[in-house]
Amino acid sequence: METKLKAHTTQIKVRYAETDSMGIVYYANYLVWFEVGRTEYLLAKGMDYRDVEKEGLFMAVVEAHCVYKAPARYGETVAIATWPSEVKNSSLKFCYRVTRQGEEKTLAEGWTVHVLIDKDLRPKKIPDKIRELLT
Amino acid sequence: METKLKAHTTQIKVRYAETDSMGIVYYANYLVWFEVGRTEYLLAKGMDYRDVEKEGLFMAVVEAHCVYKAPARYGETVAIATWPSEVKNSSLKFCYRVTRQGEEKTLAEGWTVHVLIDKDLRPKKIPDKIRELLT
Amino acid sequence: METKLKAHTTQIKVRYAETDSMGIVYYANYLVWFEVGRTEYLLAKGMDYRDVEKEGLFMAVVEAHCVYKAPARYGETVAIATWPSEVKNSSLKFCYRVTRQGEEKTLAEGWTVHVLIDKDLRPKKIPDKIRELLT
Amino acid sequence: METKLKAHTTQIKVRYAETDSMGIVYYANYLVWFEVGRTEYLLAKGMDYRDVEKEGLFMAVVEAHCVYKAPARYGETVAIATWPSEVKNSSLKFCYRVTRQGEEKTLAEGWTVHVLIDKDLRPKKIPDKIRELLT
């Protein structure tokens, strides 16, 4: 999985709270970092996800995947490269690559699939103004 | 702080996710355990907190305190003794004592203060049917 | 993905802490539940994962996957069916299916792949006594 | 509690993961933010807490307190003002004040007490080079 040119990269300082008894970041926290990556990707494109929710729409996660290649530890700064792919009628995919800031080696990489839904959990067509930011 | 006779005790198996690099439970997670203690205390008295929220009321936390005396670790079963105190017009206090299951030694103890509010964050008088469960 | 006969099922009461602004369980927390499922699967087979670590071995997660089909909410009791598959020389896979207790409908399902490593992050052959519990 | 001149302020963007069903930040997460505040305070003074641990010392939390005055929500940037107080022989206190970035109103404030311990959980005298950063 190559990081696309259109990726937006967000930096996160690893919190002590995010580590576990093994002395490394607990595996579920990478999905939290992916969420931060998504939020910042959208913001960088000019879209505040809070505005999406204000219109009664939600980007529900329907699938998540992560491959763990090397551990991250407390105090390190990691970079979450984030980019969208496979933007369909009412769903889209985000891809992620986690590295240590300033290093090439991949610590983890993964993707999430989202469906745009309304408050009653019904799928909705992705509005054009959102679609434009993603393609 | 003595555990009162009216306390309800909930058992929790420590999750790996709850530990940190020191090999012990991360300090913020005790507040999560306190929440579990509150939920189970109320249930044991016949009140489902979900029903409180269905009526548009919330027990907002306005203060939390915890003293840490000895660490808990992955795989241990801890017991959260929980009991209410100082039930006032629109606020109440819950007290907690955490031990290892079957042991006397206190691992942590603390308390939380809650105000009953509605959706607009306005304080509301605690309904009699809730008050009865707490006193 | 069918739940195998050899699955062990663990029940978890959803915590308020596990929910998010959408009013449902935050997606990363399913990986925490998977961890609880693994721990309890091993215990049910007679193996305490703490004993594995005492011997200097760790079951590092190298891949995680989750499909989200329906939301779980605060106060619900969910059941995490957990079973191992693909036990290889130094790696193994765990599969999971999350339902509401007493219901058939799948809320989420997923899997994790683990490599047995030592403290220096070197892969180790899975000891026979562990392998027997998994196959 | 006034924010002292010697305070260091860290900014944190609220994550979706940090919110709960009430649509606001879950109360335990303020203790996580306090931890970030401590880490960044020490770094700003020239001390990397990782170096403390490399010397076999840990700043164990023995007490934590938080008063919640107004909620924080997803997407907001909060500022964690952090400053030490009551530096004793082997213990010290950190104080915190949480505001929205650029606003005066206090969202939450609290403090934590720490004891410097070694790997065997024995209290140790705070080394002079650390004490200087705190007083």
- Give pLDDT tens digits for C52-99: 999 999 999 999 999 999 999 999 999 999 999 989 999 999 999 999
Q: How far is B87 from chain C (nearest CA, A)?
A: 22
At A134, the pLDDT band (50, 70, 90 cuts) reads: confident
Chain B residues closer than 8 Å to D64 by CB: 27, 64-66, 68
Do C27 and A65 count as a contact with CB atoms less than 8 A apart?
Answer: no
Do D75 and A32 count as a contact with CB atoms less than 8 A apart?
Answer: no
Summarised one tens digit per residue, pLDDT across range C94-104 is 999 999 999 99
- CB contact at 8 A, B99 and B78: yes
At C110, the pLDDT band (50, 70, 90 cuts) reads: very high
pTM of the predicted model as reported, rounded to 2 decimal places: 0.96
- CB contact at 8 A, A113 and A59: no
Summarised one tens digit per residue, pLDDT across range A56-103 is 999 999 999 999 999 999 999 999 999 999 899 999 999 999 999 999
Task: State yes or no: pLDDT of B2 exceeds 60.
Answer: no
Summarised one tens digit per residue, pLDDT across range B59-103 is 999 999 999 999 999 999 999 999 999 899 999 999 999 999 999
Do A61 and C67 count as a contact with CB atoms less than 8 A apart?
Answer: no
Phi, psi dihedrals of residue D43, rounded to the nearest 5°: -60, -40
- CB contact at 8 A, D92 and D86: yes
Nearest CA to B100 out of B35, B3, B5, B12 is that of B12
Task: State yes or no: pLDDT of B125 exceeds 70.
Answer: yes
Task: State yes or no: pLDDT of C26 exceeds 60.
Answer: yes
Average pLDDT over residues D5-34: 96
**pLDDT value, residue D40:** 98
Whole-number Å distance between alpha carbons of C11 and A53: 32
Q: How far is B102 from chain D (nearest CA, A)?
A: 23
At D5, the pLDDT band (50, 70, 90 cuts) reads: low
Phi, psi dihedrals of residue D127, rounded to the nearest 5°: -60, 150
Nearest CA to B39 out of B10, B72, B76, B79 is that of B10
Chain B residues closer than 8 Å to A74 by CB: 21
CA geometry: angle A57, A63, A69, nearest 5 deg: 130
Share the mean pLDDT of chain A. 94
Task: State yes or no: pLDDT of A29 exceeds 60.
Answer: yes
**What is the ipTM for the molecules in this complex?**
0.95
Chain A residues closer than 8 Å to D15 by CB: 32, 35-36, 39
Task: State yes or no: pLDDT of A14 exceeds 70.
Answer: yes
**pLDDT value, residue A132:** 87
At A135, the pLDDT band (50, 70, 90 cuts) reads: confident
Residue B57 to residues A32, B117, B119, C13, D109, Cα–Cα distance (Å) = 29, 6, 7, 22, 25
At D133, the pLDDT band (50, 70, 90 cuts) reads: confident
**pLDDT value, residue D134:** 86
Do A23 and B21 count as a contact with CB atoms less than 8 A apart?
Answer: yes
Task: State yes or no: pLDDT of B1 exceeds 90.
Answer: no
Q: How far is D134 from chain C (nearest CA, A)?
A: 34
Whole-number Å distance between alpha carbons of A64 and D59: 36
Summarised one tens digit per residue, pLDDT across range B8-67 is 999 999 999 999 999 999 999 999 999 999 999 999 999 999 999 999 999 999 999 999
**pLDDT value, residue D6:** 85
**pLDDT value, residue A129:** 87
Q: How far does Cα A104 stand from its chain's mean position?
A: 19
**pLDDT value, residue C132:** 87
DSSP secondary structure string, A14-66? PPGGGB-TTSSB-TTHHHHHHHHHHHHHHHHTT--HHHHHHTTEEEEEEEEEE
Q: Which two tokens stand for residue B25?
A: 């439970």
Per the annotation, the verdict on D128 as an active-site residue is no
